[in-house]
Structure formats: structure tokens, C-alpha cells
Structure 1
Amino acid sequence: MITLKNVTLRRGTKVVLDDASVTLQPGEKIGLVGRNGAGKSSLFALLTHRLQSDLGDADIPKQWTVGEVAQSMPETEDSATDYVLQGDVRLAAAEADLVAAEASGDGHAIAEAHMHLTDAGSFDARARAQALLMGLGFRGEQVDAPVNSFSGGWRMRLQLARALMCPADLMLLDEPTNHLDLDALVWLEAWLQRYEGTMIVISHDREFLDAITRVTLHLDEAKLTRYTGNYTAFEMMRAERMVQAQASYEKQQERMAHLQKFIDRFKAKASKAKQAQSRVKALERMEKLGPVLTSADFEFEFREPLSLPNPMLTLDDVACGYQTEGRDNIIVRHISRSVLAGQRIGILGANGQGKSTLVKTVARMQKALGGEITEGKGLSIGYFAQQELDVLRLEEGPLQHMIRLAKEVSPQAREQELRDFLGRFRFIGDMVSQEVGSLSGGEKARLVLAMLVWQRPNLLLLDEPTNHLDLTTREALSMALNEFEGTVMLVSHDRALLREVCDEFWLVADGKVEPFDGDLDDYQKWLLETSREMARAQKEAARPVRATTDGAKSSNDKHSDRKAQAQAKKRLTEATRPLRKEVERLDQQMAALATERSQLEVALASRALTPPQMAERGRRLKQVNEEVETLEARWLELNEEIEALTTAAAL
């Protein structure tokens, strides 16, 4: 079992755990929940011994193998299958033993190594690795492709497959659903439900947590509280505890007021002095309860739009994509749709099919490559970018953003009014002047939401708005969207948000945008049928083709095909060259920051620093983490663009 006993853990000057104790039994599936920045990832670092506790004991059985998803992007020419196979540490150790035994010529050691290989499942290891890849959305021809040929989102899937390949007694999963499509997400749920070891998962997807966890560990105010049940059960039990705690606080307040009233009334009377003094002592000895304060009370609302044009906008034979070096690269084409007042549209489709491209085009962030978009009179668009850097300036603070926005979209507001407005989104005190580049992902997302609310839009375009939001803020967003009187177009992998907000769906697939007749459950069935059809098509394509009777014509056709393929490949290389150069530059920057981060973590864990030195390195560590987060966001965006261009070239 895992036992934490009176553990105190600090990261720089911040106390992550304060006298925390909890016991987790073998085989339990635990959801670790808490606000962004509460310290969930630091708890994972403690369990993997990357961090040491300042006080108390954290015990994990020494013989346990721990598996987790690496956060760094893999850089290797190994095939996807070989890379995933390397995650099986038992198999790798057995193979190393066999190599050593054969080199020494020790027959007994060779026989023993072969026995270990059999125990490690070497006979079907490759098939198991490829099954993991296929489950996570890789196609048949991709399983043997080199790792370096994949974009960022797909490399993160490779990291997840590699972690699942590990025969772990303890599995630690930090936001494993990021970068997954709905079909891969459903497959992962089924796989984790069958997993027999102990699992702790950090996720902000409540449906995912409900499906796979049976214990919830809540990290709040540096304390750990264990609840039996999935996330929905945890919410109900926590709400009940909070009601009871508030009732106890109010009852104690009444008791204290009664004692104080007696003391004030009789402390001057000699006949009652002794009784009054005893009540003073009782009041001093009483353990003071605090009022119930919770981060779940964060809420906001979108203001009523000034007008509701109908239709909001009309798309007539619109083509969306990117223009690179004067050349059009169309991702989605022939879009003819109208967006009406009050619609709630969920946009579905696999990664790289063009969902974000469509939203960016409607949001005027990039020009349509064909057709015409007609906007209704008085249209006011509020755009939440998947990468917040599309709308934020790293060197400015939240207040500077709001001052500039107020000048652009409404009469100039007083600074105090803007400060009060930001306070509603948890930007208080000096935070209003803090550079956006040093804010966490969740804080940046809240700033974008604040800017949206201020603009008073009548059409909201939201591209993965929940990526960096904790569960309570997601709930606040869902409530605000349901009360919004305008139109919503939403791209999200959060099924709970899609179910709660959207009443119709558009499907982006195969270069087209069409209405999807059904709900999310129907979409899941459609994905299953589509994957089966693709598998059948691949089998058909793999069958031998009969030789043509016209040999000369066949040779000419092949020559033309090869020439066309070479030209297409050349155009694609030219189009993606500047993007790949920027990716290489970001890789170098992230590698340097990763080295610095490791050095800082070692220094903070050594306990040889003075308090001022600890504080200085803690601040720098936070800054490094934020810089890495910013660079990774841009890295992923660039690779998504490269993937989109590659997909378009294949159409």
C-alpha cells in the first residue's frame, strides 16, 4: 500500500502539503483533484522520488514498478512500435540479460534469460505495443513510422502508449486525455478499467474520472482528504461535509457569543467573578472553527448582447486553410452554412481535420481562401483561442490588457472599475500588474474569459476553452454559457461541457463541414463504424493487384504518379519549412530550460540553501515552468499547423 504520514512538502517558499496523511490500498483507482496550482503534480514528484518530503514519511513498496507519462517530447528515429516497446522495463531488462549472457557464453545464464523473456511476454510484446498504438488512434501504416515524423500531439500519444506498455504496479497519469480524440479517449477508458494495478490520475474531465476511478483524493489548502467514490460521489459528499462544517461553525459562534455576553455582564460583580473567569478560560480553550471557504464559488456571467442579428453570419462555398509563401493550402472546402441567433453548435472532428482552422476563419483571425462570409449587422465576435498567446501579450499585465480593450470596444473606463472587474476573475492586488508571461495556464484562461465578458459579444467562438481550467472553473463556464443569450460555437474534447451546452453538432471530416444528426453517443457509434470501414479498406488495399494488360500504359501511369507525388512532396516541404525551423528553435530553448529546471529542483531538494536563496530559486523555478509552458503551447500549435498542411496535401 501507499502511506503518507504527517508529510510536509515545500516547493520553494510554497507549502504544498502540510502534515498530510493518507493510505491508498493496492489495486485502487484514485482520482487526484484540486485547484490548478494546488500541488497535484508535486505530489506525483514525491511519489516518484523526484522530490523528498521536508517532514514526515512517504512509503511505497520498494518492489513496485512505477509507470508514468513523460512530459518531454521524444526525439528519436526509432519506429513508433519500437519506442513503445521500450516502455516495458521488464522485457528490456530480460533482453539486456540475454545479451550479457550470450556475450559471456554462460549456458545457464542464457537459459535463465530466455525464461525471463518468456515471463515478460516477449512472444506477443510487439503485437501488444501495436494494439496500444491502434487504440490511441494510430493507423496501420503509422505503427512503423519513425517517432520524429509525428507532430506534437501524436508524440504525446506515443508517450502515453509507452507508459501503458510498462507492467506497472503503480500507474501515475497526469492529464492523460490531453491531445486525444473522442474515440481514443473512450478506448483509453476501457483499457484503464481493465488495468489491475494501483492507479492515480489527475484529470479535469469529470466524465473520464467517473468512468475509471472509485476513490477520490482531494488536495486543498495543503491538506489531503480521501473520499470513497468517483468524482460525482466526491462532489456530493464534500458538499454534505461543507454543510455540516458550516453548521458547526455557526453553532460555535453562537456558543462563543453567549459566553462573551456572560463575561461582559458579570466580570465586574464580585459574586459572579469566579463563574465569569471560568467562562473566560473555557473561551480560551475552545478550538476555533473557521468559516467554510471554497474555491468552488467562482462564477461569472456573459452580459446581455446589445443586439442579436439573425442570421449571425452566412458561409457561402467557403474554403478554409493557410497561405504559405503565396500558396493556398486548403484544409476544409465548400462550406455553405448559416449561423443563427441563439444556436449552440458543437464542432466535432479528429485532430488535424480543420476544426480550429474553421473557427479562426470565422473569427477573422485568418482570411477565407475561397467563397464568401456575410456577417449580420451588429455582429460582435468573442474569440477564445486554443493557444491564449493568439490574443494575449506576454509582457503586459491583466490591467494593461483591460485598459487597451476598454479603449477599443467601449467608452474608456476608470482604472478602479477595471480593477474591480478583474477581481471578479480572481485577479487581485499586485496580480493585475503581473506580466502575463509569468501567469499559469489557468490564470491566462481566466484573463481571456474576462476579456470576452467585457466585449459583450453576441457570437462566442470557443476553441478548447477548458484546456487549462480546473473542474470548478469549468463548471462556472458551463453555467455562464447556458445563461448566455447569444450564439455559441464550441470546439472541445470535454464531453461534459459539450453535453451541457450544445444542442446541435457540425462534423468536420474529409475536408468538409456537415451537420451531424445525433448526440455525442451517436458520434461515438459513428467513430466505431468509421474505424471498422477504414480497417476493411486497408485490408482491401493490401491485397495483390492484378497486372494490367497494357504494360506501356501502366508504366506511363506509374511515371506520372511518381512525378505528381514528388511535386506534391516538394510543395509540402516548402510550405512547412519555416514552421519546422521555428519548431527546431523552440526545441533548443525547451532543452536549455529543462536542464535549468533540473538543476533548480536538485538545489531546492538539497536543503543546503538559506531561506532567501530558497525563495529566489523557487521564484526562478516558477518562471522557468511558465516559460516552458508558453514555448510548449507554441510548439504544439506549430506542429498542429504542420499536421493540418500534411492532411490537406493528402486530400
Structure 2
Amino acid sequence: MTVIQITHLSYTYPNQAQEIFTDLSLSLDSSWKLALIGRNGRGKTTFLRLLAGQLGKQAAVRSDLTFAYYPCFLPKEEPAYFSLQDMDGFELWRLEKEMNRLNLSPDLLYQPFGQLSGGEQSKLLLALAFSQDGVFPLLDEPTNHLDSASRKEVAEYLKRSKSGYIVVSHDRQFLEEVSDHVLALENGEIHLYRDDFDGYQQTKDRRDQTSLDLDRKLRREIKSLENSQKQLAANAQKAESKIHAKGKIKPDHKAELRDKGFLSKRAAKVMKRSKNVARRQAKEEAAKQGLLSNIEETPALDLNFKPDYHQTLFTGRGLSLEVAGRTLFEGLNLEIANRGIVALTGPNGSGKTSFLSWLLGKDKLTCQGDWQLQSGLKISYLPQDLSLYRGDLASFAKEYCLDYENLLNQLKKLGLEREAFKQKIEEMSQGQKKRVALAKSLTEEANLYLWDEPANYLDLFNQDQLIALLKKEQPAMLLIDHDQAFINAVAQEHVCL
């Protein structure tokens, strides 16, 4: 067991005003299988990179461990084996051993890295992280782009691991399987839970519900104090106004006027008492405001969905898809109605994304079989490749004919950080880019949605927002995703290639 000691860590990125971490102190045990969770932009990747020394040496981080950050970079033009020759401590037999544990052929080491599928690349880099002797793995989104079978393989691999690690993921099911401790970045605070992800979620739900109940009670009390202050002010004003009252004086007030200063003294007394009470109540209100919990909010999203008058938008029977003479799949039967979500699933490389490209008429693909796609449909496409979008947000909105104010509003609801609004899209993080792509699809008017891995790079809060929206709207959608929990929550039909 080795301790990772962090003492008074503060960090701010160059050219940014807001600190990512402020005076952070905690102790972590190297034997833990620690899930690091939190909203996009809260510093999860930054935390891992600080530990790995990728952002400069940090005096606040003390440990005898050598950290290995996943994913590391390998050139795509040459085989991984040649790229790894210069890596300190690289031993081929160790890497091959870990690759075999992940059901990955060592022969892939001798193919250009860029020619491997996304799943093969991910598993090779994961094997590399665990093959280095005496290192502590820092795993940043190891399940991205992995199909369901590969995710299960990686989960089993991590569960069998004798060493500890820190893992960042937004896949609930995966985190439940691979973690025994949780470090949560929540609203500028850090909470360490000595429990697995499922236990953390139950504890957090109970804590949030208690906080919500307390908040409701405090808000009622604050409202009551505000009303009381208004009433006191009204009473004081009423007393003061009697001095200037015109007209006939009521008989019961004649005695009071024998002392000409009576009304003025009485009004002054009432006003003084009102001000004293108001000051006490203001202090009490401020104290109650300070007790209000800082609970993570996830506002409801909007979808510009316009159901088409056709009951069925697409019908396909016995479909097969070919690219460059290679058959990707065959025998596909698929129907998309004008409402309802169909999930298209299958292993990496089975042709799911290519099928969306064919529907959009983008790639030189050959589709055989009987099919009909209604003409004139407005189709909104959420791509897997986020490098397609570039430029600042205003230019982006203009290029895609989006209502700029609506786009910004969707991004605010998705929790995009204020400073990111000034960045070019190509300079954003993957999570930020994903929220821009998603906001585009939510904003543009559509009869049919083609979404390719919408849950990828989104934090659990954003996923919950999407689930609530899709359950409510039930839009016409063909959905590709490898997050089984997300699919089960929103899809009415599953079609497997």
C-alpha cells in the first residue's frame, strides 16, 4: 500500500481566470479502485494529468508511485511495436500478456496503429497502461467507442487486476463493476466515499433529498420573513401618512390631537420599531440563505421536434450494406415510425455508423434490399466524429442556420462553462464539443433524428437530462450507443446487426 498525498493543491489553466482546484487536500490509497466522477469541465482529466506530471511538477502532490496516464499517444502511421521501442521500461512479453487477458491478438502490434478499430486501439492502450511494472494507472474514459462486449471484457479485466487505479467514466454500469471507492467533484467541493459506485449513488441520493427538503423549508421561512417585513413597512407608512391626512377627524382620534405632536411621535415610534424588527429579520433571512444547499441542478432540455404526418418514415427489408466490395452486414429489417426511438446495436465495425451515413447519402456505400425513406424529411444528425465542427459559436450557428440565442440557451442548460462560450469549437475539450453538437441537434427543427453515440463524453447529469427529454418527447429517432443503461432507458425497440 502506498499513499498519494495531496496538500493544498491549487491550479488554474493559463489564460483562464477561474481556478480548477483551490487549496485541495486529501489522501488516496494506491490499493483502491477509485472512480473519479463529476460533471464535464469540473477537472477530472486535469486531476489525472496533474498526478501524471503532464501539467508540470506539482509540489502539492507527493507519492513514490510512477503514474501511467491512459490514453497515451501513439502515431497512427506506424505499428505500435515500433512506437513503443523507445518507451522507458517497455517489455514486449508483459504487453502481450495483458493483451491476451483482453482477448486481443498480439499480431495487432505489427499493424499501423491507425488501421486498428477504435475498440482495438482502446484495448491495446489499456493493456499498455497495465503492462508497465510498478506504475499506477490513471484511466481517462477507457470505455469510449467500445461496444458492449468489449466493455464487459474491460470491466472483467479491471476487476481481476491486483493493482489499484483511478478511473474516469460516465458509464454507470461500468463504474458499478470496477470501483470500490468514489471521489466525486461536486459544485466546487470534493467528497470521498469509501464505497463502490452503487453505494455512492444511494448515499448521494439520500443526501440530496435531505438537502432538498431542508431547502424547501428554508425557502418557505425566508418567504414568510419577506412578507413580514413588507407588512411592517406598510404599517409604518400608514402611521406616517396620518400626519398628512386631510378631511374630517374621527371622534375617537380627537383626544389624541390635543397633543399636536402625538401623531408624529407615534409614527416615529412605529417606524423605529419596524426598522429594528426589519434589521433582525434581515439578519435571520441572510443566515437562512447561507444554509441553502448547493445542489447540482439539471434544467429540462428542449427539442425542436416536428412529427411528420406519415406514420412510417423508413422501412427496410433484407438490407445489406457494402463498402469497397466488403459486406458490412446483411439481412437487416428495420422500421422507423414518426414517433419512437429505435436503437441500432452491434459490435465495433459492424456498419452502424456507415448505415447512418448511407441514410444521409454521404458516403459511397451500396445498399441492397427493399427500402423506402419518405421524401422531404428534415433530418438532424448527431455525429460521432466531433472534429467536423469548427469556429466560434456565432459563426457555427450562422453556418448551420441555427437560432443563436436558442443555441446558447441549450448550451447553458447543458452546463457548458461560461469561458467556453468564447472558445473556438476545435479548441474545446471532447465533452464540450459533444455538448455543442448536441445543442445543435436539439435546436434545429427536425422530423427524424439520427444520433451516433450521444452518451459518449457526456457526464451522468447530461445523460439524465437526455433520458428525461427523450422519454417525454418520444421523437422519431435511430439511435446508436454502447451504453446499455442509456439504451434501456430511452429505446422502445432494439435492432442488432
Does the TM-score normalized on the shorter chain lie above 0.5?
yes
Deviation, 1:150, is: 4.0
Partners of 1:42 and 1:219 in 2: how far apart? 12
2:157 matched residue in structure 1:
191
Partners of 2:179 and 2:199 in 1: how far apart? 11
1:620 matched residue in structure 2:
none
| Cα offsets for 1:374-394 (capped at 9, x unmatched) | 21356442221111344x3x1
Letter in 1 for 2:372: T
Moved more, 23-32 or 242-251: 242-251
Counterpart mapping for 1:264-275 below 5 A: none
1:289 matched residue in structure 2:
290
Partners of 1:14 and 1:199 in 2: how far apart? 29
Query: Could you say which structure has the higher helix fraction?
Result: 1
Moved more, 258-267 or 334-343: 258-267
Return the match for 1:59 from 58, 62, 72. 62
Equivalent pair of 2:40/2:431 in contact (CA under 8 Å)? yes
Partners of 1:358 and 1:489 in 2: how far apart? 10
Return the match for 1:151 from 110, 113, 116. 116
For the pair 1:19 / 2:20, whether they are aligned, the reply is: no
Identity among equivalent pairs (%): 21
For the pair 1:472 / 2:461, whether they are aligned, the reply is: yes
Return the match for 2:328 from 309, 312, 332. 332
For the pair 1:375 / 2:364, whether they are aligned, the reply is: no
Return the match for 1:4 from 6, 22, 26. 6
Q: Measured at CA, do residues 316 and 233 of structure 1 come closer, stay the same or move farther in structure 2, by a change above 3 Å?
A: same
3-state SS, counterpart of residue 451 of structure 2: strand
Return the match for 2:184 from 218, 241, 251. 218
1:618 matched residue in structure 2:
none
Partners of 2:485 and 2:29 in 1: how far apart? 29
3-state SS, counterpart of residue 312 of structure 1: strand
Q: Measured at CA, do residues 298 and 227 of structure 1 come closer, stay the same or move farther in structure 2, by a change above 3 Å?
A: farther
Partners of 1:88 and 1:428 in 2: how far apart? 38
Equivalent pair of 2:10/2:23 in contact (CA under 8 Å)? yes
Letter in 2 for 1:162: L
What is the alpha-carbon root mean square deviation over aligned residues? 4.3
Partners of 1:77 and 1:417 in 2: how far apart? 45
Partners of 1:222 and 1:247 in 2: how far apart? 22
Q: Measured at CA, do residues 202 and 85 of structure 1 come closer, stay the same or move farther in structure 2, by a change above 3 Å?
A: farther
Q: Measured at CA, do residues 268 and 136 of structure 1 come closer, stay the same or move farther in structure 2, by a change above 3 Å?
A: farther
Partners of 1:9 and 1:223 in 2: how far apart? 14
Q: Measured at CA, do residues 213 and 461 of structure 1 come closer, stay the same or move farther in structure 2, by a change above 3 Å?
A: same
Partners of 2:30 and 2:414 in 1: how far apart? 40
1:200 matched residue in structure 2:
166
Moved more, 168-177 or 295-304: 295-304
| Cα offsets for 1:257-284 (capped at 9, x unmatched) | 75995998999789989x9799599769
Return the match for 1:401 from 376, 381, 397. 397
Deviation, 1:172, is: 1.2
For the pair 1:457 / 2:446, whether they are aligned, the reply is: yes
Q: Measured at CA, do residues 239 and 276 of structure 1 come closer, stay the same or move farther in structure 2, by a change above 3 Å?
A: same
Q: Measured at CA, do residues 136 and 285 of structure 1 come closer, stay the same or move farther in structure 2, by a change above 3 Å?
A: same
Q: Measured at CA, do residues 439 and 321 of structure 1 come closer, stay the same or move farther in structure 2, by a change above 3 Å?
A: farther
Letter in 1 for 2:357: K
1:174 matched residue in structure 2:
140
Partners of 1:188 and 1:507 in 2: how far apart? 21
Q: Measured at CA, do residues 38 and 429 of structure 1 come closer, stay the same or move farther in structure 2, by a change above 3 Å?
A: closer
1:445 matched residue in structure 2:
434
Q: Measured at CA, do residues 85 and 189 of structure 1 come closer, stay the same or move farther in structure 2, by a change above 3 Å?
A: farther
| Cα offsets for 1:393-440 (capped at 9, x unmatched) | x1352575268435xxxxxx7x65666566545579897675433343
Equivalent pair of 2:187/2:294 in contact (CA under 8 Å)? no
Equivalent pair of 2:320/2:332 in contact (CA under 8 Å)? no
For the pair 1:357 / 2:354, whether they are aligned, the reply is: yes
Deviation, 1:4, is: 2.5
Q: Measured at CA, do residues 403 and 316 of structure 1 come closer, stay the same or move farther in structure 2, by a change above 3 Å?
A: same
Return the match for 1:48 from 49, 52, 55. 52
3-state SS, counterpart of residue 320 of structure 1: strand
2:310 matched residue in structure 1:
309
Q: Measured at CA, do residues 460 and 200 of structure 1 come closer, stay the same or move farther in structure 2, by a change above 3 Å?
A: same
Partners of 1:146 and 1:403 in 2: how far apart? 39
Partners of 1:344 and 1:213 in 2: how far apart? 32
Q: Measured at CA, do residues 83 and 191 of structure 1 come closer, stay the same or move farther in structure 2, by a change above 3 Å?
A: farther
Structure 2 unaligned segments of length 5 or more: list them: 237-266
Letter in 1 for 2:469: A
3-state SS, counterpart of residue 201 of structure 2: helix
Partners of 1:5 and 1:485 in 2: how far apart? 49
Equivalent pair of 2:48/2:69 in contact (CA under 8 Å)? no
Letter in 2 for 1:388: L
Partners of 1:504 and 1:225 in 2: how far apart? 39
| Cα offsets for 1:133-177 (capped at 9, x unmatched) | 23435346x256345574373344322111111244632111111
3-state SS, counterpart of residue 152 of structure 2: helix
Counterpart mapping for 1:537-616 below 5 A: none
Partners of 1:370 and 1:282 in 2: how far apart? 72
Partners of 1:280 and 1:314 in 2: how far apart? 67
Equivalent pair of 1:306/1:456 in contact (CA under 8 Å)? no
Counterpart mapping for 1:514-525 below 5 A: none
Moved more, 239-248 or 424-433: 424-433
Equivalent pair of 1:86/1:162 in contact (CA under 8 Å)? no
| Cα offsets for 1:285-309 (capped at 9, x unmatched) | 9596264455541431434533253
1:495 matched residue in structure 2:
484
Deviation, 1:15, is: 0.7
State the aligned residue count: 455
Partners of 1:427 and 1:68 in 2: how far apart? 25
Letter in 1 for 2:495: W
Q: Measured at CA, do residues 52 and 222 of structure 1 come closer, stay the same or move farther in structure 2, by a change above 3 Å?
A: farther
Q: Measured at CA, do residues 351 and 157 of structure 1 come closer, stay the same or move farther in structure 2, by a change above 3 Å?
A: same
